[in-house]
Amino acid sequence: MNRQRLTPWLLLAGILMPFVADPSGLGVVLQNSPFVDFTDVDYKQFFAAVKQAADGPVGAPSSNWANPQSGAQGDVQSVRAFHRAEGDCRELSGTNTARGRAEPYRITVCKASDGSWRLAPSEPAKASAAPPPDPSGFPVKLPASFTGTLPCADCPGMKYQLEFLEDGSYKLRTTYLEKGPDKKGLSVDDAGAWQLVSYNKRVTLRNEKNGTMTFLIKNPSTLRLVDAKGDEMKSKLNYDLVRDQAYTPIDGFKP
């Protein structure tokens, strides 16, 4: 572990030393996990996402963060609100990735007298605290390809060809129908990483420019595009991508 990653870990452990050895919370979360590989920038982005999730309503879409310099990324969602002697508290959960290692976590934050959120020991997990992952949800078998034609503001439609690969990457080709010099369609290729969020009920795509796109998992064979807030589109138009019966790689893909 280099000094850049070691420094924030030691600072954090020093501040939270009463809790680090606590088997109910931070000791399990912080030690031997992607947290120990975070850089200073990773920590800042992670705690900014924690604040956003804690300030928002319980059950809201996950707050995502990513640092292209270190390759670390993660998501955090508020799953429970409760009160302690310390004040107003939130139970948060999510997944963090650093140096190629991804692990889920669960933490508790409580609001201090100055209005800031502070890490605190977690209570023992309760069966009703969060819904279990849906075993019938995506992905069941990879690689997989999904296709569909979604609405377009200035063309007849956008044809999506989306591949999910076993290494956590994706490939996406979006073809704007009746666009381009010959009106045969203008295709744009994109690639990045996919990640299950919201208790495996949604899958988020994050490209190399840190742009995101999220789909609601209707069932293992149907993904529905949602808006930036994680809500379904208020429209009768089609926003679904359907799994191909057989995996079909995108021909001539050039991201």
Selection from 36, 5, 53, 25 nearest residue 119 by Cα: 25
Residue 124 confidence (pLDDT): 57
Structural domain spans, the chain: 3-120, 144-243
How confident is the model at residue 177, as a pLDDT? Answer: 94
**What angle, 0 to 180 degrees and rounded to 10, lies between the N-to-C axes of helices 40-55 and 3-15?**
40
Taken as a whole, the chain contains a residue count of 255
- Tens digits of per-residue pLDDT, 144-198? 999 999 999 899 999 999 999 988 899 999 999 998 888 888 999 999 999 888 7
pLDDT category at 136 given cuts 50, 70, 90 is: low
First-to-last C-alpha distance (Å) of the chain: 33
Burial status of residue 53 (CB atoms within 10 A of its CB: 0-12, 13-18, 19 or more) = buried
Q: What is the mean pLDDT of the chain?
A: 80
Instruction: Place 57 in a pLDDT band, splitting at 50, 70 and 90.
Output: confident
Q: Which CATH class is domain 144-243?
A: mainly beta
Q: How many CB atoms lie within 10 A of CB 24?
A: 13
Residue type (1 letter), 184: K
Read off the pTM.
Answer: 0.50
DSSP state of 30: H
